[in-house]
Structure 1
Amino acid sequence: MVQEVRERPSELVNEIDEKGYFHRQKNHFDTPFGSGKEHNPVEAGRYRLVWAKGCHWSNRASIAIELLGLQDVISVNLVGRTPREKDLGWEFVFDEGNKDPVLDVQFLSELYANADPEYKGRATVPAVVDVKTKRVINNDYVWLTNYFETEFRPFQAPDAPDLYPEELREEIDAYNDYLFEHVNNGVYKAMFAQSLEAYNDAYNNLYQAFDEIEERLENNRFLFGDYVTDSDIRLFVTLARFDTRYFKNLGPIRNRIVDFKNIWGYARDLYEIPAFKNNTYFADLAKSTEKPKSIFIDYNTRFWDKIDYETLWNQPQERYLLSKTPSEKFKRNEEVK
């Protein structure tokens, strides 16, 4: 019943320090996937990924699953929000009766409670749920795509890309940490800042990172050269939301994504890939979930359903000229499964 579902905790109440800085809650369910006794077993058909169109932390997992051909191995479902006086968090709003047909629950928080009745944090996506027990067993967005790329390799499509090449893993991990601090979470640190000091620090770090990335992409088609890696997925999901959603909560911005020549071309190059396009919902990102209180609101919010994002994102670009393999965006797995 709805009244039994715990109200969603607020970031602005629980994740802001005394100086006004935002500190994202830790991932509670972080048991790795693997073959060890303490690991979540790697099995086909056992798990269900729950994600949300607006959440880039979960969007990168949905992209990775499709890129790797794991759709029949790990099932996927979407959650959204229903406006209520009390925020009850992520809900299976796209399913009949607002209930997941496999897990038979209405709210994601129910699956968190099944796993840990004492859990007090936000019920976040991505959430990997054990279909057998109907419990969340992993919500660790930091490593989740890496588990799909490595531990689930025996189940990947024969021509699946190698998004996490062994010889680059140390560099990719370091760069992913950089992206998290300055870009992926950096934009939230600016949006949720409750002091001018916190806002300025986050804002400056964000644009410093964009400048570095713009320079990095001057001579590289993707972040690590000719081929798409895990890091590119992580950057893309933030770029896809910046001009459509994030800018509305950032105040005056120095540049939009479309103002960065290399970054904008790079983002469109990635968007050409079906797994990126199929899992990106621009109209949903641009649509405001709140009723406008003034006529003086941004263009995207007022006319979100009139903006032709497909045309914008499908504009021609020549990023392929930077690559030794212009027609191939992926390094393919070399091992025979």
Structure 2
Amino acid sequence: MAGTQSGGKEISVGGELRRQPNRFTDRITPDGTWPVEPGRYRLIVSLACPWAHRSIIVRGLLGLQDVISMGVVDPLRDDTGWRFTLDEGDQDPVLKIKYLSEAYLATDPTYDRRVTVPSIVDVPSGKVVTNDFPQITRDLHTEWRAFHRAGAPDLYPEAMRDEIEAVAEPIYRNINNGVYRCGFATTQEAYDNAYTDLWDELDRVSARLESRRYLMGDRITEADIRLFPTLVRFDAVYHGHFKCNRQKLTEMPVLWAYARDLFQTPGFGDTVDWDHIKRHYYVTHRHLNPSGVVPQGPDPSVWNEPHNRA
């Protein structure tokens, strides 16, 4: 179906968000075309982006910081895409490029779609290996195991993978992507459908977490890492900016305690950058917030209140 563009994301004629497929889907494996090799690859992220956030968390929890380097783009995305203006000389210090789009064009000179994060770039060639964000974290678990830190958690245990995917798929469809479906809807019907899907799923997840500490039970897994980036942005961005306003996260006792539990776990809260998150959404999405004014609240200190879930 033909569509129009809004905020760099495809919107269908029916008013509903349609995401473009990931263009680069190669994988880094011990015996593949792109071999596992410490120091060879660079993970490019935005601290504002929930899809990139999950890769930051996994990289840290598994202790891969010295194995896969990381570059951070400016939270404000302009017409040329993600920029490296946070670094000296306005260029990434390793890749020596000013825009992530340069790596995309080095890989495919005809590329004319949206440039996305996270992306993993091969440093020697400057080419993008993958921007397939779901597979990136799976492969950090499975393909880089030889370089995990001692005592690293098994976030994607083989015996639980089918269950993790079964739980995480509706979370992605209705919550992770659901907030965007609400925010970028251009018809009332599309918004209403997305809103209903979002809150039905949040209620289901809340009910699941009433009887278990984490989504899979008593251990943190990939499923929790996929949900957390949306929850941590909920009151600051999605509740108002994306019209996901039945309740605030702080008004949902189970989910709020669960989110604080994760936030206070090393490797989660210390990866949250409130300034990047709020400036990206409220300044970049001028069609939703024409003034570009960034709200002062909410108070982030509440995230450190006791969660009582241990």
TM-score normalised over the length of structure 2: 0.92
Instruction: Name the larger-Rg structure.
Output: 1
How far apart are 1:248 and its partner, in Å? 2.5
* Structure 2 residue aligned with 1:251: 243
Report the AA paired with residue 63 of structure 1.
I
- 1:85-129 CA distances to partner (integer Å, 9 max, x unpaired)? xx1111012101210010000101111111111112111000000
Matches within 5 A, 1:263-282: 263-282=255-274
The 8 Å contact of residues 81 and 93 in structure 1, kept in 2 or not, is answered as no
- 1:288-330 CA distances to partner (integer Å, 9 max, x unpaired)? 32697679x8xxx3424xx541x2100011111xxxxxxxxxx
* Structure 1 residue aligned with 2:195: 203
The SS at the match of 2:199 is: helix
* Structure 1 residue aligned with 2:309: 319
How far apart are 1:14 and its partner, in Å? 6.4
Check if 1:303 corresponds to 2:296: yes
Matches within 5 A, 1:65-80: 65-80=59-74
How far apart are 1:18 and its partner, in Å? 1.8
- 1:223-260 CA distances to partner (integer Å, 9 max, x unpaired)? 00000000101100000111111223233611111111
The 8 Å contact of residues 54 and 285 in structure 1, kept in 2 or not, is answered as yes
CA distance in 2 between counterparts of 1:14 and 1:210 reads 24
Greater mean deviation of Cα atoms: 39-48 or 64-73: 39-48
Aligned residues: 302
Greater mean deviation of Cα atoms: 193-202 or 11-20: 11-20
Check if 1:31 corresponds to 2:23: no
How far apart are 1:286 and its partner, in Å? 3.0
* Structure 2 residue aligned with 1:62: 56
For 2:12, which of 17, 25, 42 is the aligned residue? 17
The SS at the match of 2:72 is: strand
Report the AA paired with residue 148 of structure 1.
L
Structure with higher strand content: 2
The 8 Å contact of residues 70 and 156 in structure 1, kept in 2 or not, is answered as yes
The 8 Å contact of residues 70 and 157 in structure 1, kept in 2 or not, is answered as yes
The 8 Å contact of residues 75 and 277 in structure 2, kept in 1 or not, is answered as no
CA distance in 2 between counterparts of 1:54 and 1:83 reads 11
The sequence identity of aligned pairs, in percent, is: 40
The SS at the match of 1:149 is: helix
| Unmatched segments (≥5 aa) in structure 1 | 1-8, 321-337
With over 3 angstroms needed to count, the CA separation of the structure-2 counterparts of 1:106 and 1:294, relative to structure 1, is closer
The 8 Å contact of residues 44 and 73 in structure 1, kept in 2 or not, is answered as yes
The 8 Å contact of residues 47 and 75 in structure 2, kept in 1 or not, is answered as no
Check if 1:174 corresponds to 2:166: yes
The 8 Å contact of residues 182 and 243 in structure 2, kept in 1 or not, is answered as no
Matches within 5 A, 1:1-337: 10-11=5-6, 15-37=10-32, 39-81=33-75, 87-251=79-243, 253-287=245-279, 288-289=282-283, 301-304=294-297, 308-309=299-300, 311-320=301-310
CA distance in 1 between counterparts of 2:291 and 2:25 reads 43
The 8 Å contact of residues 141 and 155 in structure 2, kept in 1 or not, is answered as yes
CA distance in 1 between counterparts of 2:261 and 2:11 reads 37
Greater mean deviation of Cα atoms: 113-122 or 250-259: 250-259
The 8 Å contact of residues 187 and 246 in structure 1, kept in 2 or not, is answered as yes
TM-score normalised over the length of structure 1: 0.85
With over 3 angstroms needed to count, the CA separation of the structure-2 counterparts of 1:83 and 1:57, relative to structure 1, is closer
CA distance in 2 between counterparts of 1:182 and 1:77 reads 30
How far apart are 1:20 and its partner, in Å? 1.1
| Unmatched segments (≥5 aa) in structure 2 | none
